[in-house]
Amino acid sequence: MRWESYPQDSYLSDINIFGLIYPFITKYCIFTIRNHHPIMLSITKEFRFEAAHRISNHGGDCKNLHGHSYILYVTVSAEEPDEQDMLIDFKLLKSIVKEQVLNHFDHVLILKRNKPNEALQALTDQKICWFEHEPTVERMLLFIRDALIHALPTTVQLYKLKLYETASSFGEWENKP
Ligand SMILES: [Zn+2]
């Protein structure tokens, strides 16, 4: 009888322990999934603008005035759609990006504020967007992030930006928790 009862008792004991800790395991898993993957939905809109710039500290051709046809992808996210079953109306997103970004960049000359560029400004009546840094795709992404992050409705968050400077060169910013 000893060889029959011992394994059965042990088996029942294991089940009881598992039954006790199961609710805690389940709650921990749900908590972990929610906190590691808080963003469930995102939408993206594409924008295009033309701008000229120069990278004044560049050792090569980029120090010369030249232009780019920029393509910008703006992605916003939220866990759930709103009462209209969307994260944000594309039309509203378009108007925010136009006001906060395109109005600064489209058909303008983007320059770092320094002496050579200020001398350049004196020779032209061009509309200039002054930067505190060289207007690289990286710095432009940070400008766009700062311009958009507080302009969006609180129901969504700025999740990702992708900025193409040429067909094969782009930079990205992503809101990593
Ligand atoms: Zn360039």
The better pLDDT of the pair 125, 145 is held by 145
Taking the centre of ligand 1 as the mean of its atom positions, its distance from the CA of residue 49, in whole angstroms, is 13
Lowest mean pLDDT among 25-34, 148-157, 165-174: 25-34
- Ligand 1 centre to CA of 166 (Å) is 8
Secondary structure class of 154 (helix, strand, coil): coil
Q: Which CATH number fits domain 41-174: 3.10.20.30, 3.30.479.10, 1.20.1050.10, 3.40.50.850?
A: 3.30.479.10
Q: What is the rounded average pLDDT of the residues 122-131?
A: 89
What's the pLDDT at 1? Answer: 44
* HEC profile of 7-72: HHHHHHHHHHHHHHHHHHHHHHHHHHHHHHCCCCEEEEEEEEEEEEECCCCCCCHHHCCEEEEEEE
- Residue 167 pLDDT greater than 70, yes or no: yes
Catalytic site residues? Answer: 62, 107, 165
**Is 49 a residue whose pLDDT tops 70?**
yes
Give 169 Cα–ligand 1 centroid separation in angstroms. 10
CA of 56 to the centre of ligand 1 (A): 11
Per-residue pLDDT at 39:
60
pLDDT tens-digit profile of 33-43? 555 555 689 99
pLDDT at position 19 = 61
Question: So where are the chain's domains?
Answer: 1-37, 41-174
Query: What digits encode the pLDDT tens for the residues 130-158?
Result: 999 999 999 999 999 999 999 999 999 99
Residue 73 has a pLDDT of 98
pLDDT value for 14: 57
What separation in Å is there between the alpha carbon of 61 and the centre of ligand 1?
9
Q: Is the dihedral of CA 80, 91, 52, 108 positive or negative?
A: negative
Distance of CA 45 from the midpoint of ligand 1 (Å)? 23
Spell out a b/e string for 117-145, using b for 16 or more CB atoms within 10 Å of the CB, else e: beebeeeeeeebbebeebbbbebbbebbe
